[in-house]
Structure formats: C-alpha cells, structure tokens
Amino acid sequence: GIYIDGKPYAGFVYDVMADVLYHAKVGEGAFRGNQRLEPLRSSNLRQSIIGINPNWLTKPVLGEIFKEIVNDSRSARAYGSAALEIVSVATGNLEAYMTPRLQPWDFAGGLVILNEVDGQASNLLGEPLTIGGPNSVLVGNRGVHREILDVYLEPHRDALIQLH
C-alpha cells in the first residue's frame, strides 16, 4: 500500500499463483487486472464464508471467541496470506477475515482495495486501523462486519482490550 502522510493513496496485491494483480487508487475504484470490482453486498454471518488462520482457534481466550464465530458462519477458510484474504473479501469470495495481529505491510495494500468496494475494516475493538504498528484486524462487508463486532466481539471487549 502507498500512504502519503498517513493517508491511503493506492493499494496493490499480487496473487503470484494466479498471476493476477489487484489494485486501487483512492476514489478511482478497485480492479482485478482490468476488471472493475463491484461494491460489496451486505450479508449476515450464517450466510458467510470467513477467513481465519486456524492456529488462533487453539489459543486461550481468543480461541473461544473465534470458535463461536466460526461455528456460526457458513464455513471458514485459511489462505495463508493476509493480503490475499483481504482481497478475497473485496471480491466477495469471502465475507469477512479476522486475525488478532497483523503488521501494516500485511494489510495496507488490501485495505485500499477493500475501501474502494465499500468494505469495512477495523481492529477487533471496532477502532480504525493504523499503519504505524501492528493491529488486530477485522474486515468484511458492511453487514457481517457489524454483526461480528456487535454480537461476538463486544461481549468480550474487556478480554480483547487485555490482548491489545
């Protein structure tokens, strides 16, 4: 991602295996190659395929919180690349992606692309992501992002604050 004075300017994510470049410039839309990505449709968790690294399901506190989300979703996937998982949300192949810790270089490019299709992004507390250091990350379409925050994460806010 390219940020100027801390503000997003452009984002790029290259899928090496598929030889596809995802890209966006703020205010000009997001693209898969030359194909414009459509704005995301809202969904609820029960309809949704979410991205999550299964390793987090084994951790105390987070594991219990994340297991509830995974159990109530349609299905869960792990691609092994945060950037590709965020782009998968931007394309509608996933409805949400969450992880308790990412460095800015892992999410900055995908975040610009996601924003251009009306995707939602925050940390697990619902606060804006920052590019100055590591963040927990929750991205999704408008409906599932809000549902995960309100129904699943907010009741565990005190525990999540301790983990930040």
Which residue positions form the known binding site? 106
Binding residues for Mg(2+) are 106
Residue 79, classified by CB atoms within 10 Å of its CB into exposed (0-12), middle (13-18) or buried (19+), is middle
Of the chain, the end-to-end C-alpha distance in Å amounts to 24
Q: Please, are residues 11 and 3 in contact by the beta-carbon 8 Å criterion?
A: no
Count CA within 13 A, CB hemisphere, residue 90. Answer: 30
Contacts of 94 (CB under 8 A, 6+ apart): 48, 49, 50, 51, 77, 85, 88
Longest Cα separation, the chain: 44
- C-alpha closest to that of 131 among 159, 114, 153, 112: 112
